[in-house]
Amino acid sequence: MSGNHLLEARTILYQSVEQAIALFKEKNAGRYLGVLWYLLDPLFMFLIILALRGLVGKGIPNYPLYLLVGLLMYNFFMKTTTYAVNIFEFHRFHIRSVLIDPIIFPLSVLFLGLISHFFEILILACFLLYYGVSLLNLAYYAIILAFYSLFILGVSLIVSIIGVNLSDIENIWRFFCRLLLFATPIFYSSDLRMPVNLNIINPLYYFITLSRRILIQDQMPELSLVFATVFFSILSLSLGLFIFNAYRYKILEKL
């Protein structure tokens, strides 16, 4: 990478983080709960599903931890990609009036999602301590999170472009995310026999299972899990960048 490209990349990252912080402040301005909601939102969902433990969590060791890891990783994906769908529509006046690289907006959504996920990790850390699990495992989770973020960024780039061209994509994507919640072994065992095994083609399954192996079971994961997460990260980001770069100059025309 040349010096000019490196400087450009640093500028884009800086502007993306700056934009994410501005979005974070805007979202929490005037709210009584404010930042506290980032802790309460996943906890409410966690407690509701935990109450059904007898129906869906039988035979799963450390089920509260098992459930929490799945929910937090799903929330990160769902919230980030859903917000990315309308990110250009939301910032259309900004895009029209200021000369700015459009990739900054999907990137800022990812960083906003990471800020939200940081608060959720604090909840997870408390549960890990309660169950006597070493917090050092979070260092390994940070590596998984880096690849997971690349995967989510790729998806966000794709849906942000689709969102510019298809007005109904937000409702379609929300419906898809609801289906994904039930299609992914988040609150039930990954060993549960299903009519159709969707885990093989479900990227979230690999990221969540790998995280559970390291965080909860404190085990070295199978190489197949590691390769799958790296593969889906590279595939998603590559496809996302390809589609985004193909349509990036048409964004302004569509707004």
The DSSP code for 222 is P
Q: Which two tokens stand for residue 113?
A: 């999602």
- Residue pair 76/117 in contact by the 8 Å Cβ criterion: yes
Q: How confident is the model at residue 1 (pLDDT cuts 50, 70, 90)?
A: low
Q: What pLDDT is attached to residue 220?
A: 84
Q: What pLDDT is attached to residue 251?
A: 78
The model's pTM is: 0.89
Q: What pLDDT is attached to residue 30?
A: 58
- Residue whose structure tokens are 């450390």: 62
Q: What is the mean pLDDT of residues 9-17?
A: 78
What is the Cα–Cα distance from 191 to 212, expressed in whole angstroms? Answer: 14
Q: What pLDDT is attached to residue 249?
A: 79
Q: What is the mean pLDDT of residues 42-53?
A: 80
37's enclosing H/E stretch is: helix 37-50
Q: Pick the residue with more confidence: 106 or 191?
A: 106
pLDDT in tens, 174-213: 999 999 999 999 988 887 776 677 889 999 999 999 999 9
Q: Which two tokens stand for residue 172?
A: 């379609």
Q: What pLDDT is attached to residue 25?
A: 74
The type of residue at 37 is W
Q: What pLDDT is attached to residue 242?
A: 96
pLDDT in tens, 18-31: 888 877 777 766 55
Q: What pLDDT is attached to residue 44?
A: 84
pLDDT in tens, 49-104: 887 766 666 778 888 999 999 999 999 999 999 999 998 888 777 777 767 788 99
Among 23-32, 111-120, 147-156, 193-202, which range has the highest average pLDDT? 147-156
What is the Cα–Cα distance from 103 to 248, expressed in whole angstroms? Answer: 8
Q: What is the mean pLDDT of residues 106-111?
A: 93
What is the Cα–Cα distance from 192 to 116, expressed in whole angstroms? Answer: 31
**Which residues are CB-neighbours of 78 under 8 A, at least 6 positions away?**
177, 180, 181
Q: What pLDDT is attached to residue 74?
A: 97
Q: Is the pLDDT of residue 4 over 90?
A: no
Q: What is the mean pLDDT of residues 139-151?
A: 96
